[in-house]
Amino acid sequence: MTSKSKYLGNLRTENEHGQSKAKVLSDAPIDNHGKGEAFSPTDLVATALASCMLTMMGIIGERENLNLKGMTAETTKTMASSPRRISKIKVGLKLPDYLSQEERELLENTAKKCPVHFSLHPDIEKDVQFNYEKLKT
């Protein structure tokens, strides 16, 4: 089992990871009858893209002995209506500035091939930006 979800009422769910038992709450967003006090289900989808990209680059970083600690991603989700759905996910990634051009290309290609990226509907626009700067660790 991947996860177990329970409806708590008031448009909130509690989601428990099958293996670790870690829990994540979700709420309906304010613009869809909710309180917006936790991630919405569509927030989790958008965030999963960023998390997947960071994880895949981390795997390559470990393999290539690159210190990628402190990488970050800022994610913005845009919704459409009729039907209500995610229309765009923008991910701004911050990576260390000391990486060579070859290492940057390897990591960028890896991020764009993460499983979540391939799992999202092709109609969802994916705007991924790679920024290289001194990272805070």
What angle is formed at CA 38 by the lines to CA 69 and CA 91, rounded to 5 degrees?
Answer: 45
Query: Which structural domain range is residue 15 located in?
Result: 3-32
For the chain, the domain total comes to: 2
Each residue's pLDDT tens digit, 2-59: 999 999 999 999 999 999 999 999 999 999 999 999 999 999 999 999 999 999 999 9
CB 26 within 8 A of CB 39: yes
85 and 21 in a single domain? The answer is no
pLDDT of residue 7: 97
> Can you give the pTM of this predicted structure?
0.94
Each residue's pLDDT tens digit, 102-122: 999 999 999 999 999 999 999
The rounded distance, in Å, linking the Cα atoms of 121 and 70 is: 30
Each residue's pLDDT tens digit, 72-94: 999 999 999 999 999 999 999 99
CA dihedral 9, 87, 57, 2 (to 10 degrees): 30
118 and 93 in a single domain? The answer is yes
pLDDT of residue 137: 73
User: The domain that contains 95 carries what CATH number?
Assistant: 3.30.300.20
CB 27 within 8 A of CB 39: yes
The rounded distance, in Å, linking the Cα atoms of 28 and 99 is: 40
